[in-house]
Amino acid sequence: MNHIQLHEGFPLLPHPRARAIIDTAALTHNYNTLMSPILTVSPRTHAIAVVKADAYGHGIRPVVSTLLEAGCRSFAVACLEEAVALRKLLRELLVGAASDEEADVLVLGYTDPRNVSLLSAYRIATTLLSAEYAARLLDAAREAEVTVKVHAALDTGMNRIGFPAHTEAEITEAVAAIQDLWQTGASDPDRDEGGLILDGIYTHFARADEDFDTEMKQADSLTMTQYARYRRVCEGLEALGIRPRVRHICNSAAAIRFPEVCPEGCLDAVRLGISLYGYGVSRPDGQDAPLKPVMRLESIVTHIHTLLPGETVGYGGTYRADTPRTLATLPVGYADGWLRSFAGAEVTLHTKEGDVTAPTVGRICMDQCMVDVTGLPVEVGTPVTLFGNTTKQLESLALRAHTIPYELLCLVTARIPRIYEAP
């Protein structure tokens, strides 16, 4: 096992009170599991691995290193800060390869045009949020005399960013705006005055993880509507002789749940996000895709005591004992990402007699929580898994917290060391 710290000022302890195990073999399994059916119907399609938010809380270094070994050469992040750090990491990891130019980096969100020189220096592609934004970015690139790759985002129904493309009129305007950008000569990398290279075009599905029926034939499906709008823009551009190098629309959920958009819908690339880490994808038959959790959050029992009848537990006294109860204290709380809303959730204790489950009781504290282990063979030092043995554990916690696994993975804080297992 290797040990990484997200909080650089923390010492590397041999026996941490809690840790997040990052299973790189599970990550490789998920990558191959997701790409295999896609490549079967669309052999030209490559993966764009989404590694924003420190690879969804898993740690950017072990995740990117593992994905490079699996053959991935395209990555996406949310902002320029993440992109610069990623490019530096890629240059380190790809030493000895032909060059780090083998790997593409795309910013999916906003980049201030005043930072255009950084985009060029670190070979980072960024997203065009609108025609007005594209004009500002182009002006900045020419003023700085640099060339930058860009991907035009289309707003086909997410209503977040992108060239509007809902109605026929908007689709026509989007085609005209992208054509205008192309015709300025911005796509020519040899222009001495600098400019933009229109390298890609994409949209983002709003409901691909839930928007389908068992027959996969919903005419008014939002996902299929978005796909049709995207295709109308691409067809309009192709009629003008404009075809960006990378067209991408499907996330992993769309590729698996909407087979009618494959192979054409997978196009040149498919964006793999939460599914890489083991969550978020069900097949059209309602069965979960065979993915494995990549993160496992672990701790230990640090204290055991008896709760007398009538006594309460923790802040607010929300749990009162009717009979004598045996409580175990775990040294994790909401400052570690083990949220207050997890009160009542079950954890797995790995005792000498086998694995057992027990519920948390009382309110989760900032740094500790209590578990009712009455009648169980638990002792100080007993290992505990809070989530990650199965996908169901984190999904259950997400339901309890009225959120999604994405958020819970990202909320495991920097004071929890990531221990990554290499196969």
Tell me the DSSP string of 65-97: HHHHHTT--EEEESSHHHHHHHHHHHHHHTTTS
Q: What is the DSSP letter of 287?
A: P
How do strand 246-251 and strand 195-203 relate by DSSP bridges?
Answer: parallel
N- to C-terminal Cα separation, the chain: 9
Contact 398, 46 (CB under 8 A): no
Q: Which helix (H) or strand (E) holds 421?
A: strand 418-421
Tokens (6 digits) for 51: 């590694």
CA distance 345 to 341: 9
Q: Which helix (H) or strand (E) holds 383?
A: strand 383-387
Q: What is the DSSP letter of 185?
A: I
CA distance 138 to 119: 12
CA distance 284 to 402: 24
CA distance 38 to 260: 12
In sequence order, the 6+-apart residues with CB closer than 8 A to the CB of 324 are: 306, 307, 308, 309, 374
Residue spans of beta strands (DSSP E) within 108-233: 125-128, 147-155, 163-164, 195-203
Q: Which CATH architecture has domain 42-277?
A: Alpha-Beta Barrel (3.20)
- Adjacent-strand bridge partners of 4: 418
CA distance 17 to 363: 20
Predicted confidence at residue 4, as pLDDT, reads 63
Intervals of CATH 3.20.20.10 along the chain: 42-277
Task: Tally Cβ neighbours within 10 Å of residue 6.
Answer: 17
Intervals of CATH 2.40.37.10 along the chain: 295-421
Tokens (6 digits) for 408: 């819970």
Task: Tally Cβ neighbours within 10 Å of residue 222.
Answer: 17
Predicted confidence at residue 92, as pLDDT, reads 92
Q: 88, 122, 279, 315: which is the annotated catalytic residue?
A: 315
Predicted confidence at residue 184, as pLDDT, reads 77
CA distance 395 to 393: 5
CA distance 105 to 122: 9
Annotation marks residue 52 as catalytic: yes
Task: Tally Cβ neighbours within 10 Å of residue 180.
Answer: 13
CA distance 73 to 421: 22
Contact 398, 338 (CB under 8 A): no
CA distance 300 to 379: 10
**DSSP SS3 for 157:** coil
**For the chain, how big is the Rg over CA atoms in Å?**
24
Q: 52, 133, 227, 319: which is the annotated catalytic residue?
A: 52
Burial class (CB in 10 A: 0-12, 13-18, 19+), 205: buried
Predicted confidence at residue 41, as pLDDT, reads 81
Annotation marks residue 315 as catalytic: yes
Contact 45, 266 (CB under 8 A): yes
Q: Rounded to 5 degrees, what are φ and ψ at 390? A: -140, 160
Site of tokens 């993160």: 295
The one-digit pLDDT tens for each residue of the chain (423 residues) are 666 656 657 777 888 999 999 999 999 999 999 998 888 888 889 999 999 999 999 999 999 999 999 999 999 999 999 999 999 999 999 976 555 567 999 999 999 999 999 999 999 999 999 999 999 999 999 999 999 999 999 999 999 999 999 999 999 999 999 999 888 755 455 556 789 999 999 999 988 877 655 454 444 588 889 999 999 999 999 999 999 999 999 888 887 777 666 666 678 999 999 999 999 766 555 556 689 999 999 999 999 999 999 999 999 999 999 999 999 999 999 999 999 999 999 999 999 999 999 999 999 999 999 999 999 999 999 999 999 999 999 999 999 999 999 999 999 999 999 999 877
Predicted confidence at residue 220, as pLDDT, reads 53
Residue spans of beta strands (DSSP E) within 246-388: 246-251, 269-272, 295-300, 303-307, 312-313, 319-320, 325-330, 346-351, 354-361, 369-372, 383-387
Kindly tell me the sign of the dihedral angle through the C-alpha atoms of 94, 96, 97, 98: positive
CA distance 277 to 294: 5
Q: What is the CATH number of domain 295-421?
A: 2.40.37.10
Nearest alpha carbon to residue 395 among 403, 93, 21: 403
